[in-house]
Amino acid sequence: MGITKTENFTPSQIRIAQLAKAIGHPARIAILQYLISCNSCVCGDIVDVLPLAQATVSQHLKELKDAGIIKGEISGAKTCYCINEVVWEETASIFNGLLNSYHSINECCAPDAACC
């Protein structure tokens, strides 16, 4: 696979891609849904609710944390995780903006339409 030339993209495009990658796996979605449902910091029992090994869950948590979507605080021998509210709002704003920027053009991709 080739090297991505990120300098050819805007900071906004790079951030959207980073956030999309972070939430782009079903296990990460499951982790986020679990954290949301708990509505508090969760310490250590995330692996108990997923059909994955501890090492795999740790890798998924790392991806979410690297993107800033979740926060992790060390508490004794465990790390407690919760949603990072600031980045959660940023993510919602970014994806809402992207999705809402599309306005349907009924004749696009019709058999006789002139496409871009």
The DSSP annotation for 11-31 comes to HHHHHHHHHHHHT-SHHHHHH
81 vs 111, residue with greater confidence: 81
State residue 2's pLDDT score.
Answer: 47
pTM to 2 decimals? 0.81
Provide the residue type at 62 as one letter: K
Tell me what the pLDDT averaged over the chain comes to.
87
- Residues contacting residue 108 through CB under 8 Å, at least 6 positions apart: 115
pLDDT digits (tens, 9 = 90+) for 72-96: 887 777 889 999 999 999 999 999 9
Q: What percentage of the chain carries pLDDT values higher than 90?
A: 60
Residue range 34-48: mean pLDDT, rounded: 88
pLDDT score of 114 more than 80: no
State residue 107's pLDDT score.
Answer: 63
Task: Identify the CA nearest to 80 among candidates 24, 19, 27, 35.
Answer: 35
pLDDT digits (tens, 9 = 90+) for 7-36: 889 999 999 999 999 999 999 999 999 999
State residue 45's pLDDT score.
Answer: 80
**pLDDT band for position 48 (cuts 50, 70, 90):** confident
Is residue 105 helix, strand or coil? coil
Provide the residue type at 103 as one letter: H
